[in-house]
Amino acid sequence: MIDRQDNPEFVNSFLDYTITILNKSPNTVKEYNYDIANFLKYIKKQFGLSIEKDIKDIKINDMDISVLKKVSLQDIHGYISYMARELKSSPATRARKISCIRVFFKYLSSKAKLIEINPAQDLETPKLGIRMPKYLSLEESKKLLEATQSEDSRNNVRDYAIITLFLNCGMRLSELVNINISNIDFSESKMTVIGKGNKERTIYLNNACMKVINDYLSIRPYDRVKTDSRDALFLSERKERISNRSVQDIVKKELKNAGLDTNKYSVHKLRHTAATLMYQYGEVDIRALQELLGHESISTTEIYTHVNDERVRNAVENNPLANI
């Protein structure tokens, strides 16, 4: 939850811009607020505008826009260096925060016209090497499904449905949590979800998915469900829409039950697993996979073309000239 009283007015107007014009999701806006607040605390400290020793304790709600008119590209580079040196931020984390700072200063200079010069105009994003996605093998995926299905618990049917949807559809955590019953087309075996950037997309459901959804709906509670959760597909013990944290705990518990490394695998790794298995075994076109996963850029989807090392190795070994 964003406490706007902690922000100067120009930050709140920027957040409003990201919501209304850029159509960013609540989670993204929350991250923007956190990133900008930390950057401004750093600037205040560097400019000698706070006596607090710990940057975390610095208040920014009294900050005037005139301070940002003095910020240079070198100051921003100093903040990036601080993130790497003091905060031990990874290159990926720094890249995300740099992107946020660029959007922020572009808004202040070209949209709100609050500053004349954009110090982040020439700010470069650090190059990131291609990171191979971690994913479960087909056998490990089957092992996870079997462990979840055989578990003796009152939420077994719900939890099995959750794991099945993750492994078959490649949904994001937020997408699964926000599934509404009214958005499921049972006759066409498909449903609509709200993806990243509040974009609506269609997810097609195979037989396994339709079965687990129907099985869960047959035992899902309907009485005394909280008003704002009556349309939610997955409910918690308190009869309200299940939370992100609860789903993460469920996945961690089932991974552990299956004897899989919970430090290596997580909810998002199940999304990687679904994408990888579809690419390896489903002969899915990369463009179709992009649409299925809801990726804005094809380059994001292309990481899955690098994971099939075994098939590449086999292709080389099966070359008719291999044994000459």
Domain residue extents for the chain: 4-111, 138-310
pLDDT at 183: 95
Query: Of 311, 155, 322, 124, which is closest to residue 246 (Cα–Cα)?
Result: 155
Average pLDDT over residues 309-316: 56
Say if residues 23 and 49 touch (Cβ distance below 8 Å).
no
pLDDT at 230: 96
SS3 label, residue 64: coil
Is the pLDDT confidence value at 294 over 90? Answer: no
Q: What is the DSSP letter of 229?
A: G
Name which residue leads in pLDDT, 135 or 131. Answer: 135
Query: What pairing do the DSSP bridges indicate for beta strands 184-185 and 200-204?
Result: unpaired
Homologous superfamily assigned to 138-310: Intergrase catalytic core (1.10.443.10)
pLDDT, tens only, 152-193: 888 999 999 999 999 998 888 999 999 999 999 999 999 998
Catalytic residues: 172, 196, 268, 271, 295, 304
Name which residue leads in pLDDT, 308 or 41. Answer: 41
Q: Name every residue whose Cβ is closer than 8 Å to that of residue 117 and which is 6 or more positions away in sequence.
A: 69, 109
Average pLDDT over residues 80-87: 92
* Angle (CA) 175 178 179, round 5°: 85
Helix axes 156-169, 138-150, angle to 10 degrees: 160
pTM of the model: 0.65
pLDDT, tens only, 23-39: 888 888 999 999 999 99
Name which residue leads in pLDDT, 297 or 113. Answer: 113
Across the chain, mean pLDDT equals 88
pLDDT at 306: 60
Using CB atoms within 10 Å of the CB of residue 302, give its burial: 0 to 12 exposed, 13 to 18 middle, 19+ buried.
Answer: middle
> Right CATH number for 4-111 from 1.10.3470, 1.10.287, 3.30.470, 1.10.150?
1.10.150
